[in-house]
Chain A
Amino acid sequence: QKEVEQNSGPLSVPEGAIASLNCTYSDRVSQSFFWYRQYSGKSPELIMSIYSNGDKEDGRFTAQLNKASQYVSLLIRDSQPSDSATYLCAVNRKGGFKTIFGAGTRLFVKA
């Protein structure tokens, strides 16, 4: 079992729809959770951090964390073609130096 698992996609949604990206993690003591966006040929860019159960909203992005289910998700409302990218889920374990990255989900937003 991978430590951080994501559906590789591609996930295709029409412009204006809600894109839902999901991630599960295996280590129950994980405490910090992040979503990165990576355009083709570019480096990962942090878009959301979440540390406690529930929802966190930032503009069109909402991160959701459920520690009991070891599940974190990212919702993108009013999806735009410019949102087409690979989205990486990342997890910091409690007291651990390393960040564990998922393999990423490719998102396509069709105009």
Chain B
Amino acid sequence: DVKVTQSSRYLVKRTGEKVFLECVQDMDHENMFWYRQDPGLGLRLIYFSYDVKMKEKGDIPEGYSVSREKKERFSLILESASTNQTSMYLCAGRGPINQPQHFGDGTRLSIL
């Protein structure tokens, strides 16, 4: 089975901090994704990556960046955290294009 692991289940940070969310997958997937999920807004794609060092903006990239230095690890970076970035963050991995995504457990991030 696919295993996607996010480093923290809960995280509390302060406004203006630089925040790193880590995601690791163990299935040698080329494709990895970062979403945020807010009540009433569904899943919104922040960034995705289809290979090492490759990244593409999703629907809401503003205020975020990503890093993919190794195939198994995809990091989401909040450059200067703001309260409107309080959310549930979900990482997903996927193999070939026609396959489903598999999600990590999520990180519930609170920015105070």
Contacts and interface: CB of A to CB of B under 8 A. Distances in A.
Interface of A: 31-32, 34, 41-46, 49, 51, 88, 90, 92, 95-99, 101-104
Contacts, number: 49
A40 to B, nearest CB: 10
Given A43-B104, A43-B106, A104 B42 contact: yes
Interface stretch (B13-21, B63-71, B75-83, B92-100): B92-100
A44 B98 contact: no
Contacts of B34: none
Interface of B: 31, 33, 42-43, 45, 48, 50, 56, 58, 90, 94, 97-106, 108
Nearest to A88: B43
Contacts of B43: 44, 88, 101
Nearest to B30: A97
B42 A51 contact: no
Contacts of A43: 90, 103-106
B90 A44 contact: yes
A31 B98 contact: yes
Contacts of B99: 32, 49, 92
A42 B102 contact: no
A49 B33 CA distance: 19
Contact of B45 (A51, A92, A98, A104): A98
Nearest to B44: A101
Nearest to B56: A97
A97 B45 contact: no
